[in-house]
């Protein structure tokens, strides 16, 4: 009996091959992927090859020049060499049009990363006309230099190995490459080593590539493709797909996609996903082992790299992002079951995730910079810290408030400045008991996040960040590709055209909206029943800060008419778009530093509660910019959510709830003032009594004498 070859750490779950229906579904899937534009043209592929050839020549000349400057012999100069290797999606053969190329430059031992790579080579690239958007990131977990070469995006890493001459046929998979190198170098080398191991450990490379290309596109459509924000990146998805290929070695892509969702819907995290056994060599590098390393026990979704030293490639995943991905796996599994029953087509699997219809409350993070170059580095820094905001909110609310960071950035075309916006959905943990008057006060959390962001060592004037709490119907219209507004306007809900699968939900939404409107119109003396739900506090009371900034610096005082007009226009925009009073807008600055030389017109016109830590700077800005104070209502957080999907329209902004909240706040302030005056009266009375008693005693002593 011939034993089937085992791929991975366990035996296959099934050796079954495809049936005729599976082959037909695979053809339909491949046709869909081609129609979706996931394959690059022959011309673009040739251009990529040309760019890589030019880059190889640049790094070779760079190493030869450094060898000559350091006084090596002519023979050494002639033999001096550096090689360019690829990894990631390009190495795996699943890259699409416009995708970047992950590259690794391997150089000799006497060419270092700090000075030679990030300074000398950086200057060489900066002088070339083909190179644009050059962005060095030396302090990253894996130091990288990002740029575009003739329009092709390049991520360039560097590794200095313990060889004086680097051969052109360098075997990167050899473990001798890890001798006498530091950990950043090991992490840089591991990109190529992991890609080679993945290719080696899958049964059918072509089936693997088709399945991976499909699932990467699915992850982007469903908003779960981003390592930096706490979801999964390219290597993570590649490892997950490779493991499914090992479990079903004879399956075709349509079967592998279906089995992928079936496996990971039932996977019991934090059990790790591994392609091979973890080996601990004698090179002294730490490998992933929760038995020895306490930090490894905290990982939510371990996906282990197959090359030594084996690491968890998904350490960024948090409890909230794991919840979101699990929900999306369940969505994919349900759709695939319908496809296998011929009740749905592949297009249903790749429907865009309705993020801005799935939550009632959101955090909006706006960032601005003086120009496009500053925004490029500032955006990268802020985006890399958004994951920390998710972890902080989970920590400070004991996991009761769940976050869904959305890995997409948006630009307001009406702003005349370098600007980006990120959004994060908020909801209560499902099953959490609702207590009357319970609130989530995350002001301190956001303030801590602001301070972390402001520690950016390359900060420049003009780099600013704003955080605001917005409700669903206050989401700005520019988040939609076709520019429509997802908010209540003139008593009607403007919606995007729905597909057949969305018609039923559309009718449910309209019915819920009519019901909600009828409830809001009823006169109410006491708060509605929902007012017992917890509330979200994200900013200090004190009003609204509206700032106008333009592309040039204007000095001196503004005319009162201009300030009045800007305030009136912005306030009207709030009232016209949301139908309710505008909320406070407090500005985040960089440790009290002034705004830079450029900005945007009414950047802070996005609805919500913005923060500012330094109260003195806030008061100064309020006086200088003509801000006015308004009373804001506490916003009620959505009490329940079914798998992160929309179940009912936004009902947190009803007039009765707001009036009740304001009434409670006003009553509290009234009681505080009464107690203050009473205590003040008794305090002054006590002082008067002591003075009177002292004078009496003195008079008595004088009389006796």
DSSP codes of every residue in 540-597? -SS-B------SS---SPPPHHHHHHHHHHHHHHHHHHHSSPPPPB----STTPPP-S
- Catalytic residue (one of 7, 60, 64, 89): 89
- Catalytic residue (one of 216, 360, 415, 473): 216
DSSP 4: P
| pLDDT of amino acid 86 | 96
Burial of 354 (0-12, 13-18, 19+ CB in 10 A): middle
Confirm whether 79 is a catalytic residue. Answer: no
**What's the distance, CA 696 to chain centroid?**
73
Closest CA to 397 of 442, 361, 358: 442
> In angstroms, rounded to a whole number, what is the distance separating the alpha carbons of residues 48 and 150?
9
Determine how many CB atoms are found less than 10 A away from the CB of residue 411.
12
> In angstroms, rounded to a whole number, what is the distance separating the alpha carbons of residues 25 and 19?
10
Confirm whether 225 is a catalytic residue. Answer: yes
Confirm whether 89 is a catalytic residue. Answer: yes
Query: What spatial distance separates the first Cα and last Cα of the chain, rounded to whole Å?
Result: 126
Q: What does the angle CA 399 – CA 367 – CA 541 come to, to the nearest 5 degrees?
A: 60
- Catalytic residue (one of 100, 371, 373, 530): 100
3-state DSSP percent of the chain in helix, strand and coil, to 5: 45, 15, 40
Which conformational region is residue 634 in: left (phi greater than 0), alpha (psi within -120 to 50 degrees), or beta?
beta
Q: Which residues, 6+ apart, have CB-to-CB distance to 479 below 8 Å?
A: 356, 410, 421, 423, 486
DSSP 306: S
Per residue in 226-251, pLDDT (tens digit) is 998 999 999 999 999 999 999 999 99
| pLDDT of amino acid 543 | 30
User: What is residue 165's three-state secondary structure?
Assistant: coil
Cβ atoms of 104 and 157 within 8 Å: the answer is yes
Confirm whether 591 is a catalytic residue. Answer: no
> In angstroms, rounded to a whole number, what is the distance separating the alpha carbons of residues 203 and 200?
8
Cross-strand partners of 314 = none
| pLDDT of amino acid 701 | 42
Burial of 521 (0-12, 13-18, 19+ CB in 10 A): exposed
Cβ atoms of 74 and 125 within 8 Å: the answer is no
**Measured CA distances, 468 to 261, 423, 463, 666 (Å):** 35, 10, 17, 24
**Measured CA distances, 635 to 284, 355, 360, 650, 699 (Å):** 53, 20, 10, 11, 63
Closest CA to 578 of 490, 509, 649: 490
| pLDDT of amino acid 585 | 28
| pLDDT of amino acid 674 | 56
- Catalytic residue (one of 90, 225, 248, 315): 225
| pLDDT of amino acid 622 | 29
- Spell out, as residue ranges, where the chain has pLDDT lower than 70: 1-4, 434, 436-437, 481-705
Confirm whether 155 is a catalytic residue. Answer: yes
- Catalytic residue (one of 22, 102, 412, 609): 102
| pLDDT of amino acid 4 | 63
| pLDDT of amino acid 403 | 93
Per residue in 470-517, pLDDT (tens digit) is 999 999 999 986 543 333 333 333 333 334 344 444 445 455 444 444
- Catalytic residue (one of 22, 155, 196, 632): 155
> In angstroms, rounded to a whole number, what is the distance separating the alpha carbons of residues 591 and 596?
13
């Amino acid at each position: 009996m011939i034993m089937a070859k085992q791929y991975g750490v366990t035996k296959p779950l099934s050796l079954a091959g495809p049936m005729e229906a599976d082959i037909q579904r695979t053809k339909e899937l491949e046709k869909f992927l081609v129609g979706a534009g996931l394959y690059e043209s022959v011309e673009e592929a040739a251009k990529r090859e040309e760019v890589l050839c030019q880059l190889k020549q640049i790094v070779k000349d760079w190493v030869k020049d450094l060898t000559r400057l350091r006084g090596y012999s002519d023979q050494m100069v002639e033999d001096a060499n550096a090689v360019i290797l690829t990894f990631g999606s390009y190495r795996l053969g699943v890259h699409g049009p416009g995708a970047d190329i992950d590259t690794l430059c391997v150089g000799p031992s006497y060419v270092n990363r700090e000075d030679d790579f990030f300074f000398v080579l950086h200057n060489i690239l900066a002088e070339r006309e083909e190179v644009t958007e050059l962005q060095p990131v030396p302090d990253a977990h894996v130091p990288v230099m990002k740029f575009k070469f003739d329009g092709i995006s390049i991520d360039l890493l560097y590794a200095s190995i313990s060889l004086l001459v680097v051969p052109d046929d360098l075997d990167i998979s050899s473990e001798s490459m890890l001798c006498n190198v530091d950990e950043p170098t090991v992490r840089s080398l591991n990109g190529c080593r992991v890609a080679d191991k993945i290719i080696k450990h899958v049964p059918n490379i072509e089936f693997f590539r088709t399945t991976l290309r499909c699932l990467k596109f699915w992850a982007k459509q469903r908003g779960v493709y981003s390592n930096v924000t706490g979801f999964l990146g390219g290597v993570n998805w590649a490892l997950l797909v490779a493991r499914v290929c090992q479990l079903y070695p004879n399956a075709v892509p349509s079967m592998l996609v279906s089995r992928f969702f079936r496996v990971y819907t039932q996977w019991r995290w934090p059990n790790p996903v591994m392609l091979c056994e973890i080996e601990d060599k004698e090179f002294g590098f730490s490998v992933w082992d929760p038995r020895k390393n306490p930090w490894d026990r905290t990982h939510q979704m371990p996906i282990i790299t197959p090359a030594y030293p084996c690491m968890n490639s998904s350490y960024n995943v948090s409890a909230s992002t794991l919840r979101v991905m699990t929900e999306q796996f369940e969505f994919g599994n349900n759709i695939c079951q319908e496809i296998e029953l011929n009740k749905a087509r592949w297009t249903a699997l790749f429907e865009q995730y309705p993020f801005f219809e799935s939550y009632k409350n959101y955090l909006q993070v706006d960032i601005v910079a003086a120009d496009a170059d500053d925004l490029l580095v500032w955006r990268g820094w802020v985006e890399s810290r958004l994951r920390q905001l998710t972890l902080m909110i989970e920590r400070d609310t004991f996991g009761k408030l769940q976050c869904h960071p959305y890995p997409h950035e948006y630009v307001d075309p009406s702003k005349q400045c370098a600007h980006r916006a990120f959004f994060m959905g908020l909801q209560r943990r499902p099953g959490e008991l609702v207590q009357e008057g319970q609130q989530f006060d995350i002001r301190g959390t956001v303030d801590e996040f602001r301070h972390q962001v402001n520690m950016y060592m390359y900060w420049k004037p003009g780099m600013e960040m704003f955080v605001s709490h917005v409700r669903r119907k206050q989401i700005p219209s520019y988040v939609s590709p076709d520019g429509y507004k997802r908010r209540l306007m003139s008593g009607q809900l403007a919606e995007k055209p729905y597909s057949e699968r969305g018609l039923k939900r559309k009718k449910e939404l309209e019915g819920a909206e009519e019901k909600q409107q009828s409830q809001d119109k009823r006169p109410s003396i006491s708060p509605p029943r929902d007012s017992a739900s917890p509330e979200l506090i994200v900013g200090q009371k004190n009003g609204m800060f509206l700032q106008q900034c333009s592309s040039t610096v204007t000095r001196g005082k503004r005319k009162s008419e201009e300030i009045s007009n800007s305030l009136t226009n912005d306030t009207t925009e709030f009232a016209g778009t949301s139908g309710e009073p505008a909320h406070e807008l407090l500005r985040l600055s960089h440790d009290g530093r002034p705004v830079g030389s450029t900005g945007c017109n009414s950047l802070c016109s996005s609805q919500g509660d913005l923060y500012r830590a330094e109260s003195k700077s806030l008061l100064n800005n309020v006086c200088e910019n003509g801000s006015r104070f308004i009373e804001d209502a506490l916003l009620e957080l959505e009490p329940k959510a079914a798998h992160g999907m929309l179940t009912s329209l936004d009902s947190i902004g009803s007039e009765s709830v707001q009036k009740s909240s304001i009434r409670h706040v006003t009553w509290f302030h009234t009681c505080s003032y009464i107690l203050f005056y009473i205590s003040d009266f008794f305090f002054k009375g006590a002082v008067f009594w002591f003075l009177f008693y002292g004078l009496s005693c003195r008079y008595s002593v004088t009389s006796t004498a």
